[in-house]
Structure 1
Amino acid sequence: MESIAFKMKKHISGKGRGVLLFPDDFRQFGSSDAVRLALHRMEKEGYIRRIAQGIYVRPKISKYVGEVIPTAEEIAKAIAKRDKIRLVPTGVYAMSALGLSTQVPMKLVFLTDGAPREIKLGKRTIKLKKTTPKNLSAKGEISGLVIQALREIGQQQLTAKEERKIIALLKEENKKHLLYDIALAPVWIQKVMKKALDHE
């Protein structure tokens, strides 16, 4: 009879390298304790890598740098998909996603409708902060990020250069989404966002 670990390995190799693996992915193979034990053994063998508590990967291999581990952003997206929750990047991370900051944040902070928690990934951290449905209801990817980035920058600190960049980015947004999202923003942010409509 095939062991749980053997069945799990077959399942993992079928997924290909670089795909994030969670214990729940292997529920059909045995009890949660048996699955965790098999994952622990595979990690010890070097077949998979544990990148955070309850998150594993069979890394892609690059001939230049060796093992390639998924980014913190990819891990956050995988957690959102697994838990069926919404995530909205905020703070410095929202600014860096829009190219308004060159700083690579060590802590990625997301607003979520899921459980608040912190996930440690080596030196980096993913922090999920529980928020109201209104803060998660932005329809546009760019306009949603802009609202969070402007909140981080602050009304008094916003430079003319940053504002020009934001307006240029918002022009790429789906107009229906932009109009919807403007209504969700604080008044001073609405004024900035409406400039993307005036410039057409």
Structure 2
Amino acid sequence: MKKVHTQIEQLIARKKPGALIFPTDFRGLGTETAIKQALFRMVRNGMIRRLTHGIYYTPKKDEILGELIPGVEEVAAMIAKKERVHIVPSGADAMNRLGLSTQVPLKLVYLTDGPPRKFKVGNLEVRFKATTPKRVSRKGKISSLVILALEETNLQQMDDLTKNKIKRLLEQEDPQKLKHDLSLAPVRVNDFIVNLFKFDTTMLK
């Protein structure tokens, strides 16, 4: 039978540059200690890189930018997939993704129906904040982000320009998905969106 280190090395050699690696990928090949020792040796010999605690990746180089590290969103999505939980951006990040804010968050916060956790990708802190299943079960790609953003916004102080931007964004959403997501939204957010379409009810029929 092949040694744990040899088996893991062969599996990693087949991965694409920039692929994320977790110790749990190799469960069944050996003990947790043996797996971690194998990964540690591969970091030392340059075969893989350590991104943060418990997460590694295969080196990837760009001719101009040099060595690249995996993106934060990719890492967060992979962690959620591994842990079989759902994650969605928090309000500040949702605002930024929708183009409603130019402020880049100093740390990224995702809401999750799984356990809370923190980790770093480079100098950026990422946090999974536990929330109710309802907040991560919305269907619309646009409407879910809009509702998440509005949940953490002072709606009374929002200017007309921003309201019009939000209305235009929601007009791109599937009406059925918007209706579904509104049914899971807080009352104040539901009322705010309904008022945006009070003279154009086609989206909310």
- Which range is displaced more, 66-75 or 9-18? 9-18
Q: Which residue of 2 aligns with 1:32?
A: 32
Distance 1:100 1:90 in 2: 14
Contact preservation (8 Å) 2:15, 2:58: no
Matched, 1:148 2:148: yes
Which residue of structure 1 lines up, in the alignment, with residue 99 of structure 2?
Answer: 99
1:196: Cα distance to partner? 5.2
Distance 1:61 1:199, change over 3 A: farther
- One-letter code aligned to 1:175: P
Q: Residue in 1 aligned with 2:64?
A: 64
Q: Which secondary structure does the structure 2 equivalent of 1:15 belong to?
A: coil
Residue correspondence of structure 1 range 54-133 to structure 2 within 5 A: 54-133=54-133
User: Contact conserved, 1:170 with 1:196, CA < 8 A, in 2?
Assistant: no
In structure 2, what is the Cα distance between the partners aligned to 1:90 and 1:56? 26
2:167 is the alignment partner of 1:161: no
In structure 2, what is the Cα distance between the partners aligned to 1:47 and 1:106? 31
Q: Which amino acid aligns with 2:59?
A: P
Query: Which moves more between the two structures, 97-106 or 175-184?
Result: 97-106
Q: TM-score, normalised by structure 1?
A: 0.92
Matched, 1:179 2:179: yes
C-alpha separation in 2, matches of 1:20 and 1:193: 39
Spell out, residue by residue over 1:50-108, the C-alpha distance to the aligned partner (whole angstroms, 9 max, x if none). 11110111132111111111111111100110000011111211111111122222211
Q: Which amino acid aligns with 1:166?
A: I
Further displaced range: 152-161 or 14-23 = 152-161
- 1:2 is displaced (CA, Å) by 4.1
What is the letter of the counterpart of residue 128 of structure 1? F
Task: Give the % identical residues.
Answer: 44
State TM-score, norm by structure 2.
Answer: 0.90
- Structure 2: any 5+ residue segments left out of the alignment? none
1:28 maps to a residue whose letter is: G
- Can you list the C-alpha shifts for 1:20-59, whole angstroms capped at 9, x where unaligned? 1100001132111111011111111121111111011113
Instruction: Please give the alpha-carbon distance, in whole angstroms, between the structure 1 residues aligned to 2:100 and 2:59.
Output: 31
Deviations 1:140-165 (A, max 9, x none): 12111111111222212322222111
CA RMSD across the alignment: 1.8
C-alpha distance 7-196 of structure 1, shift in aligned 2 (>3 A): farther
SS at structure 2 position matched to 1:114: coil
Distance 1:196-1:125 versus aligned 2 partners, 3 A rule: farther
Q: 10-19 or 49-58, which moves further after superposition? A: 10-19
Q: Which runs of 5+ in 1 are unaligned?
A: none
Q: Is the Cα–Cα contact under 8 Å of residues 171 and 196 in structure 1 kept in the other structure? A: no
Aligned length in residues: 200
